[in-house]
Structure 1
Amino acid sequence: MAGPTDLALTRPPSLAPLLARGALLSPFKRPGPDAEFPRTRLVLPGLRVDLARLAAYERVCGFPTGENALPVTYPHVLGFPLAMRLMSGRDFPLPLLGLVHTSVTVTRHARMPASDAYELSVYIEGLAPHRRGTQATVVTEVRGGRDVVWESRSTYLARHRTHHLGGTARETEARKPLPEVAEWRLAGDVGRRYGAASGDRNPIHLHPLTARLFGFPRAIAHGMWTVARCLAAHGVPESCHLRAEFRAPVLLPGTVTYAARDGRFELRGREDRIHATGDVYPV
């Protein structure tokens, strides 16, 4: 099968109209692993980082501020508007409403100065059956010059009835819980602060009233915030590979436990419920 066709952009897409379009089209989507999906790679050359937004992101996630270097998770924020343009379109078969970010893997090949210009590209790699529905994989790549300096794969799950029997429930890990490092009390405005810094103003993250419309008792933290906060506390090698899975939502306000050992980390809630888990190591 031929690879995606490049479509060059002149500016990052605006997120608000994309989220609105995706919400309006969601009831008409017919998700399934065999559905057609966009075969376009969106490319944004000459991208420069808004340093004020970067500083706001660093503060809400706990990264050091004022350094001429992008946090390892920040390119995901840069690529998110392009991913939303693809996933909010008529030709994307999964409904944007209710789409769940289930995992992310990142490889950073080199230090990324915040003052440099980059080329950003995003495309949908494919769809796959999942025991709870259909999962899409979105690939983001960042180039500095001709070289890929950062790349990621994010999986997004649309839940629907399925006859897929190829997988069982998530394997229960036999590993012992990681040792506690810190307890974090999360304010109710974390979702709003992260939304302002990242541009991801999904209503489930902003206010209890809007979160209740989607079945949550309170606002929930962004999954990428939970991972970024863990990595800010853990520390990340300059060239690294990381993997994280989002297991359960973090309600805001709330209290969570950050635990880590060697290259592994996790975020736990009450009764040791796992919210996020992952690992990071040098490459």
Structure 2
Amino acid sequence: MASHWNYLNAPPTLPGLFVQAALRRKVTGSVLPDEGLRCWVSVNRQQVETYRKVCGFSNTSLMPPTYPHVLAFALQMQLMTAKDFPFPLLGLIHLRNSISIHRPLGGVGQVRVSVHVANLQPHTKGATFSLVTQIEDALGPLWEEDSTMLCRGVQLPGEPAGDFEPAPLPLVEVARWLAPVDIGRQYAKVSGDYNPIHLSATSAKMFGFPTAIAHGLWLESRTLAALDDHLPASNVDISVEFQKPVRLPSEVVLSASLAGSSGQFRLTAANADLVHMMGSWQPLS
């Protein structure tokens, strides 16, 4: 938890934050800020419905389980483009994402969003930290997210922690779909996340990618939409680990264990031996 909170009257605007992110290309330190950001944010139902269509969610009364990330995105951007944040935002790599849904995401009109960073750790390729997001409504905690981010080129004392891998469950194919060449631009319009590596081959090549790659949060969202009848709507922890990127366009295959209170899933390439994403769900710990 952050030691101090900075309360905002309204979410920041994104264009200026992307300019700041583009100008910050160097590591400037190895200490995370201890101040977080908080702000009340209103939910726009039309924007939710557009997001639902791009990510493949069915039309229900519940907000998609990944949509609170969109509500928090501007605050996350402001936190990680501030002068006291030591790592360049556009150089960060999203390794893992975990969300916790405390109550059904229905009838949500206004929420308080809190974001902070924590848990700086050595990694074999640099250093990792957690970007922590908490969503509350008038009744209390509603949704949480812990995104593990990697910054290359940072050296910290100590040994990298080992990864825990649960015993694999039997998986069967449940869906396959095409990630179209323009899905990065479609997702950017509904999420506000205009990271150049997702938008086009030309912009992706500026950051060392031969072609645009699918956004990890879109892959997670599209996967959870396909697993709607497998997972509980609340009281659930969902974790994913991003592995090989999905180059656009590509066909992907989703395999999962049986529906229930806990399970596992895997997203692979349709025509190659590549694992793009692995994940699991379980009751709230």
Q: Same fold (TM over 0.5)?
A: yes
Q: Which runs of 5+ in 1 are unaligned?
A: none
Query: 2:24 corresponds to which residue?
Result: 25
Matches for 1:99-114 after TM superposition, within 5 Å: 99-114=92-107
**1:66-107 Cα deviation digits (max 9, x unpaired):** x33211111111111111111111111111122111111111
- Greater CA deviation, 159-168 or 185-194? 159-168
Q: RMSD of the TM alignment (CA)?
A: 2.2
Q: Distance in 2 between matches of 1:213 and 1:258?
A: 30
Query: 2:4 corresponds to which residue?
Result: 5
What amino acid sits opposite 1:12 in the alignment?
Answer: P
What amino acid sits opposite 1:264 in the alignment?
Answer: Q
What amino acid sits opposite 1:260 in the alignment?
Answer: A
> What TM-score does the superposition give when structure 2 sets the normalisation length?
0.89
Q: Offset of 1:16 from its aligned partner? A: 2.0
What amino acid sits opposite 1:39 in the alignment?
Answer: D
Residue 260 (structure 1) aligned to one of 256, 261, 264: 256
Query: 1:51 corresponds to which residue?
Result: 45
Residue 274 of structure 2 is aligned to residue 273 of structure 1 = yes
Cα distance change of structure 1 residues 252 and 174 upon mapping to structure 2, 3 Å threshold: same
Matches for 1:125-144 after TM superposition, within 5 Å: 125-144=118-137
Q: Offset of 1:114 from its aligned partner? A: 4.7
Q: Distance in 2 between matches of 1:115 and 1:141?
A: 15
**1:216-274 Cα deviation digits (max 9, x unpaired):** 11111110111111111112312111111111211111111111113211110143311
Residue 184 (structure 2) aligned to one of 191, 194, 198: 191
The question of whether the paired residues in 2 share the 8 Å contact of 1:119 and 1:143 is answered with yes
Residue 223 of structure 2 is aligned to residue 227 of structure 1 = no
Cα distance change of structure 1 residues 16 and 274 upon mapping to structure 2, 3 Å threshold: same
Q: Distance in 2 between matches of 1:171 and 1:147?
A: 31
Matches for 1:211-250 after TM superposition, within 5 Å: 211-235=204-228, 236-239=231-234, 240-250=236-246
Query: 2:58 corresponds to which residue?
Result: 64
What amino acid sits opposite 1:137 in the alignment?
Answer: S
What amino acid sits opposite 2:19 in the alignment?
Answer: A
Cα distance change of structure 1 residues 164 and 268 upon mapping to structure 2, 3 Å threshold: farther
What amino acid sits opposite 2:33 in the alignment?
Answer: P
Q: Distance in 2 between matches of 1:132 and 1:52?
A: 41
Q: Offset of 1:126 from its aligned partner? A: 3.3
> What TM-score does the superposition give when structure 1 sets the normalisation length?
0.90
Q: Could you tell me the percent identity over the aligned residues?
A: 37
Q: Distance in 2 between matches of 1:198 and 1:155?
A: 19
Q: What is the DSSP-based 3-state SS (H/G/I as helix, E as strand, rest coil) of the residue aligned with 2:240?
A: strand
